[in-house]
Structure 1
Amino acid sequence: MSFQAYLDNIQSKTGKSPADFRALAAKKGYADAKGLRPGVKAGEVLAWLKQDFDLGQGHGMAIVALLKGMKKEGDR
């Protein structure tokens, strides 16, 4: 499955776009304009995504990769 397919599935499930997740992560203090804030562990973000959006490990890690800047929308 391509990275974009993960993002599309996440948006279908949650109604939230990648930009929405960036904004929500910033509001929670997990990320800023540069990406995931120093010291923030993927496990913290995964727990939040599981609790608030019922996202599993794979979809959660896609959001983490997006926040870290490792992947971007449209990537395969």
Structure 2
Amino acid sequence: MSFQAYLDTIETKTGKTPRELLAEAAVKGFDAETKAAVVVEWLRDDYGLGRGHAMAFFHVLKNGPTISDKHVGTSGTHSDPSTELHLDGIAARSVDRA
């Protein structure tokens, strides 16, 4: 599953875009210094997310919307089209393509 696919699935499961979840995390006082386990527990307890999805979100919380180019442009399972992740949601991305 690509990194963006993880974020898209999080949106589908929670009903919130990654950017909305980042805002919620900020209200809770979570930031780049927060331990992963705390974020994983919050997303599990409040949204029923598993560890893999929670860790994908944690990466964005800690590092922002940029990912390594390790899998960009590859044909593997984890291939992403860009190093920039879309945080404004699936619908916003659909509008951008129109």
Structure-1-length-normalised TM-score: 0.82
Decide which structure has greater strand share. Answer: 1
Rg larger in structure: 2
Q: Which of 60, 76, 85 is the matching residue for 1:73? A: 85
Quick one: which amino acid aligns to residue 13 of structure 1?
K
Identical positions, percent: 49
AA partner of residue 9 (structure 1): T
Q: Normalising by structure 2, what TM-score?
A: 0.64
> Equivalent residue for 2:56?
62
Higher RCO (CA 8 Å, separation ≥ 6 residues): 1
Alignment-derived partner of residue 5 in structure 2: 5
Following TM superposition, where does structure 1 have runs of at least 4 consecutive aligned residues deviating by more than 2 angstroms? none
Residues matched between the structures, number? 68
Secondary structure of 1:55's aligned partner: coil
Could you say which structure has the higher helix fraction?
Answer: 1
